[in-house]
Amino acid sequence: MELCLSLYWSELRDVTLSLEVLFRCVHPSPSCLTFNSSNMWTSVDVTGFMREEEVFPEFKLTHRIVYKRPTSHKISPLGSRDVLPSGVQIYQLVLSYMFQLVCHSKLSELKKLTDMPLCLHSKLSSSLSLEVTASRYDLMSGPTVTKKTLRPGISTRFYLRSLPEDKLAKCGIDQGHFLSGHFTFSKCDKVKKKVAYELKYIVGPQKSARSPSVSTEKKLYTNDSLKEFKINSMRYGVLTSDELEDEYGDDISFLLAKLRMLSESEMCSYSNAEALAASIYAKIDLNEILAQLRIQEQFSHVPGRECFEEQKRQLVECLTLEGSILFKEQPSSDRLKAIYVDLHKLLDKKDKVLKEFKMKYAEAMGHFATLAKMIEEEMSVNRASRDLDEKLIQCYRQLECKEYANLLEHNLTWKYPPDFVSF
């Protein structure tokens, strides 16, 4: 914008003027913006003064600022002519950049600078644009803003998203680097020229953790395989639980293996099984797993999903093993009802483990009608099974349906002949 002045046509002499001219435009606050990516977002307030005006917010990063430390250094004396009048030799410091940065007569002063970083300014091959939103709620996945109308005297706030990691990785930008550029709110045309304001972007630590090295992965795999081998050896009598107690005493897999052996033993005592199960429950939080299951239903990619799936599997196995011991000793205890409720929370109603537990629970509680219904549903879905038919006959005898039970028992001879092989 320019202002032109001229004398009136009838004025023939010189005139002295005192002018104060104010050029009004869109004013951002702050006018020099520094964006730290660790904050994930930032905002800029824009105010218009004279009239309604359309703004086109644009935030571009065009240069990269990298701080490099030297990989090596060398201090050497200069030539014979580079000597002070007093006879003191002048030394030079040459860094791996091959720049002779500093000359000085004292070695101690140069040694202080042997690890001095070098600041390199370079232009990006393609500029990076920051996404702008109109509200804070749109920062996660809302629409971006490319144009907006400002009302005079009213401040409008724009929100900026941080750059995604994949864009930074393509440009070779790492933690601690700086990006510089400019931001504008207008477009150049015949009447107006856009004003550019300074923009700085600080690259913070990356979200994604570095993957472990190959040697570390192999070492972890070897340790896990060795632990699994030792724990499985207890079932075959190669090792005893006392021999592994010092090494794997608090490990959940070791505690589950001991509980599994107790459930298979004929001399099992529930008091011992209860203590083992309590140790496992103390290490796995049921409420946290239920919360994670709910989150996984809504979002496909959840950090640490494999860990929670493993904890869920261990908790389900512990509940079923404790329940199998209770079926033998205390089939009507309140603890068995609590296990039944917890398994319903963790497993889908069509899960095979839950179906088997529900059948055992119905038999232990004397719910033979429910058990008969579940057996018939199982037989309609899966292949024929003589064990299920015999259990169904027992259910109908308990329900005093003797005629139907006798009919099913009579049909067993032709339904499952001696040479019958299920397929």
- Residue 316: both structure tokens together: 């389900």
- Using CA atoms, how far apart are residues 388 and 378, in angstroms rounded to an integer? 9
Q: Which domains does the chain have, with CATH numbers?
A: 27-69+117-202 (2.60.40), 227-365 (no CATH)
Q: Quick: pLDDT tens for 55-67.
A: 888 899 888 877 7
Q: Is 383 a residue whose pLDDT tops 80?
A: no
Residue with tokens 């200069």, as numbered in its chain: 78
pLDDT in tens, 396-417: 888 888 888 888 888 887 777 7
**So what's the pLDDT on residue 191?**
60
Cα separation values, 26 from 179, 194, 300, 301, Å: 25, 10, 44, 43
Q: What is the pLDDT of residues 68-120, one digit of tens each?
A: 677 777 888 888 788 888 888 888 887 765 445 567 777 787 777 677 767 77
> Model confidence over 293-305: pLDDT tens digits?
777 766 555 566 7
What per-residue confidence (pLDDT) applies to 381?
A: 80
**Ordered DSSP codes for 79-109:** -TT-B-TTSPBPEEEEETT--EEEEES-HHH
In the predicted model, what is the mean pLDDT of the chain? 80
CA distances from 266 to 254, 270, 328 (A): 20, 12, 10
* Greatest CA separation for the chain: 133
pTM to 2 decimals?
Answer: 0.46
Where residue 207 falls among pLDDT bands split at 50, 70, 90? low
> Is 197 in a helix, a strand, or coil?
strand
**pLDDT at residue 99, as a whole number:** 46
Terminal Cα-to-Cα distance of the chain (whole angstroms): 90
Which phi and psi angles does 406 have, rounded to 5°?
A: -65, -40
**Per residue in 274-295, pLDDT tens?**
888 888 888 888 888 887 777 7
> Using one digit for the tens of pLDDT, what is the confidence trace for 96-108?
654 455 677 777 8
